[in-house]
Amino acid sequence: MENSYRFYTNKDCMYLPCHKVDSTEDFNCMFCYCPLYFLEECGGNYKNIHGIKDCSDCLIPHKVNGYDYINKKIGEINEKRVAESFNRGKEDK
């Protein structure tokens, strides 16, 4: 895939690939660290090891469509927070 605002592969990175993959051709480095890490339910393939997320088996941020998935998830969370805040405001009246 061609480098863009949604996708790029840092071929000069000494850690590429940072996950076990068959090919780095479509490996997206846009989110080197996943912005969904701190979500309890991020939708990724992670293991909980003594209360710490181990995301080494998750490739969501590194897939071609990872940018879309992450932005959609962030949008859903923001919508939920706005709705909760709005509903709290109604209860205060």
Instruction: Summarize pLDDT for 61-84 with one digit per residue, the tens.
Output: 999 999 999 999 999 999 999 999
Q: Give the length of the chain.
A: 93
pLDDT tens by residue, 6-16? 999 999 999 99
| Radius of gyration (C-alpha) of the chain in whole angstroms | 17
Element (H, E) at 66: helix 66-91
CA count, 13 A, side-chain hemisphere, 28: 23
Which domain, by its residues, includes 25?
1-93
Count structural domains, the chain. 1
pLDDT tens by residue, 42-68? 999 999 999 999 999 999 999 999 999
pTM for this model (two decimals): 0.81
Q: Which residues contact 19 (CB under 8 A, 6 or more apart)?
A: 56, 57, 58, 59, 62
